[in-house]
Amino acid sequence: MEASVQEKYDYIVIGGGVVGAMIARWLSRYEGRLLLIEKEADIGMGCSSANTAIVHAGYDPLPGSLKALMNVRANPMWDQLAGELNFPFERRGDYVVAIGEEELPLVEKLLQQGIQNGVPGMMMIDAGEMRSRERDINPDVSGALWATTGGICDPFQVTVAAAENAVINGATVLLNTKFEDFIWEGNRVIGVKTNRGDFYARWVINSAGIYSDAVMHKAGVRPEFIIKPRKGEYFIFDRAEVQIHNVLFPVPSSRGKGILVTGTLHENTIVGPNGNVIDDKEDTSMTKEGMDELLDGAKKLIPSLNLRHSIANFVGLRPMGNGPCYTPGINYNNDYVIEVPSSVQGFVNLGGIESPGLTSAPAIAEMVVDLMKDAGEEFVAKKDWDPIRPGRPRYAHMTHQERKLLCDMDPRYARVICRCENVTEGEIVAEIHAPVPAHTYDAIKRRTWLGTGRCQAGFDMTRVVAILARELGVSPFEITKRGQGSEYLYRTTKDVEVANVN
């Protein structure tokens, strides 16, 4: 995992979100030294960890756009990915629900758009069929588009799995490593300057998410391209109180796909997102106005939803760009940018990879490598490349017999640390020492789902801090929630008592 300053690589990927991780995995197929740098304390801490976890069918993007092409190309890749990388994935299909007769033509238009995009397995279902599939649906439902190829995943595990597979195949991942500038030789990028030193490479790939505009501007590319964060707020509902299995979209608007209600792989229900364009790329605050908007939008689909059953909320910032449409002549200025600019050698530029970015990630990675080939890069495939990222035991998903065998082999799996989600000490320790290690509380949370139940870490947090300190050989005062500046402990109770006496 560690690399010294001024090391030389063949390929450097800037940004450890799901797209950057998929690019790193794809590049790890080939001979050459590969480095992925991420400015945060863990990978996948941006929009890759704050979304609705949906693998989209591909009917929503504008025909001819790169969004549509990448979405439809990537969707069938997910079954093989899930098998190779050992992350959970289910093709539940998804529904775009028409409420009232006036919305039916809009849904039927989406069906035609999906056909134009080449999406298979779509059909219209009537109101009675929709009611039979979702008992709590609005009684005013008039019909729905059912897209059978839609799916759900765990985006945290997807990102980690792709990055770990890259590491297994020889890549290096450097966390807490912030891009600052490029190193040049004429008009060729030959490396990057970071807060941890200089790193040299023959190719640098910009996959910096919401900050991809700043990175490309450092390269003198697309000065007119601007990322405007589209703020998406979400609620998570208690699975004991709200049971929604399906993925339910409203009719989309100009602001996005709308506020949906969806089940998850963890059996919770998620409501969101809204889509307010803001200026601050660090504003992940939940607002009263946003809460009201979410609940009003969700109740249009599921009127029985009660905010009292919400156990958590979160905010994601989608990197909305102003890239022109991939297909010339189409008036659309919100497309993906995926290119090897002619003005800069040794540089691959990505920008505006918002929804359906999670879905599109494997196809984007494939396209990046193809563009590099077109630009003259001669890849040599590794003879020993391993597509498999081994899975790790998940106590909550095991039978009693499987649990007994596991606990007999390693007693740490017999100690349950998170009672809401049945996460054990053995699982936590495994993540701390994984190929892409989890060294913060939130990093372990994203990988194991601990702390996400009703008590919201009330029981497990102190125990996890102690385990982290023990395994890392550091003081508990050094353990953080999400990186430097988020330390849990300030001083001991005894110190406070002494200070009060004095």
Q: Could you identify the residue written with the tokens 């640098």?
A: 204
Could you tell me which of 38, 44, 33, 28 has the C-alpha nearest to residue 7? 33
Q: Which helix (H) or strand (E) holds 425?
A: helix 425-432
Q: Which helix (H) or strand (E) holds 155?
A: helix 155-168
Check if the beta carbon of residue 24 is closer than 8 Å to that of residue 166: yes
Helix (H, G, I), strand (E, B) or coil at 156: helix
Strand 188-194 and strand 141-147: the pairing is unpaired
Check if the beta carbon of residue 392 is closer than 8 Å to that of residue 444: no
Largest distance between two CA atoms of the chain: 76
Known catalytic membership, residue 56: yes
Q: How far apart are CA 284 and CA 270, in angstroms?
A: 17
355: number of CA atoms within 13 Å, CB side?
Answer: 27
Q: Which helix (H) or strand (E) holds 142?
A: strand 141-147
Strand 228-237 and strand 247-249: the pairing is unpaired
Q: What phi and psi, each to the nearest 5 degrees, are found at residue 259?
A: -85, 110
Check if the beta carbon of residue 469 is closer than 8 Å to that of residue 429: no
* Catalytic position from the list 56, 217, 266, 400: 56
> What string of DSSP letters covers 376-400?
T----B-TT----------GGGS-H
Q: How far apart are CA 393 and CA 379, in angstroms?
A: 36
- CA angle, corner 255, sides to 254 and 259, nearest 5? 120
Q: How far apart are CA 114 and CA 230, in angstroms?
A: 24
Residues involved in catalysis = 56
